[in-house]
């Protein structure tokens, strides 16, 4: 039997009693870890493919040791420019041993119970929030017409004074022309 599992962002094909190196995992050496994101399982005859994960299946493993990978040298060079950079890197790894591939332990009912309590709290908080929104809308509705009406009146008054001011110089010019004749 084998399974394809996502561990630390990468997919691995695993079998029972297999040892593999993965990116560093949280936990101490000798501790057990479970991986719930199983993408595919096969027992030789029957293949189960998840969408995206197979429900009710998990892979349990034991952390054998934490170590560092081989050194990788990164060398950059631009010819005829005098540019050379040399860097090294060692990846932190965990060596794990797959203990079993099988049904996941049921810890989900506790999560469901917590979600129902959270839903009750949200329902209690919802009427209060709706009441606050309604009062805020009423207040803005009362204030909005007063603000809109005032600028119109001011604009009319300004336009009337502007036309009167324009009309006066024209009348004075007409009177000046009459006097000259």
Q: Which among 87, 92, 67, 88 is positioned nearest to 77, based on CA atoms?
A: 87
d(CA 71, CA 91): 8
d(CA 96, CA 90): 18
Residue 74 in contact with residue 89, Cβ under 8 Å?
yes
pTM: 0.53
Per-residue confidence (pLDDT) for residue 111, from 0 to 100? 46
Q: 154: burial class by Cβ within 10 Å (0-12, 13-18, 19+)?
A: exposed
pLDDT digits (tens), the chain, 181 positions: 999 999 999 999 999 999 999 999 999 999 999 999 999 999 889 999 988 999 999 999 999 999 999 999 999 999 999 999 999 999 999 999 999 998 876 554 544 445 566 666 666 666 666 666 666 666 666 555 555 555 555 555 566 655 555 555 666 666 666 666 5
Q: What is the DSSP letter of 82?
A: T
What b/e sequence results for 19-58 when a residue is b if at least 16 CB atoms lie within 10 Å of its CB, and e otherwise?
ebebeebeeeeeeebebbbbbbbeeeeeeeeeeebbeebb
């Amino acid at each position: 039997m084998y399974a394809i599992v996502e561990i630390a962002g990468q997919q691995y094909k695993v079998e029972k009693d297999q040892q593999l190196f993965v990116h560093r995992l949280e936990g101490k050496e000798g501790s057990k870890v479970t991986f719930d994101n199983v993408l595919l399982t096969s027992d030789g005859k029957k293949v189960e493919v998840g969408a995206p994960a197979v429900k009710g299946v998990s892979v349990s493993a034991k952390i054998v040791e934490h170590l560092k990978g081989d050194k990788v040298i990164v060398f950059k060079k631009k010819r005829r420019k005098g540019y050379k950079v040399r860097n090294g890197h060692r990846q932190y790894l965990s060596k794990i041993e797959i203990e079993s591939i099988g049904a996941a332990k049921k810890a989900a009912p506790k999560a469901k119970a917590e979600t129902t309590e959270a839903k009750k709290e949200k329902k209690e908080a919802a009427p209060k929030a709706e009441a606050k929104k309604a009062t805020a809308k009423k207040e803005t509705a009362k204030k909005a017409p007063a603000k809109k009406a005032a600028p119109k009146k001011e604009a009319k008054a300004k336009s009337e004074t502007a036309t009167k001011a324009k009309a006066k110089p024209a009348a004075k010019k007409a009177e000046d022309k009459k006097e000259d004749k």
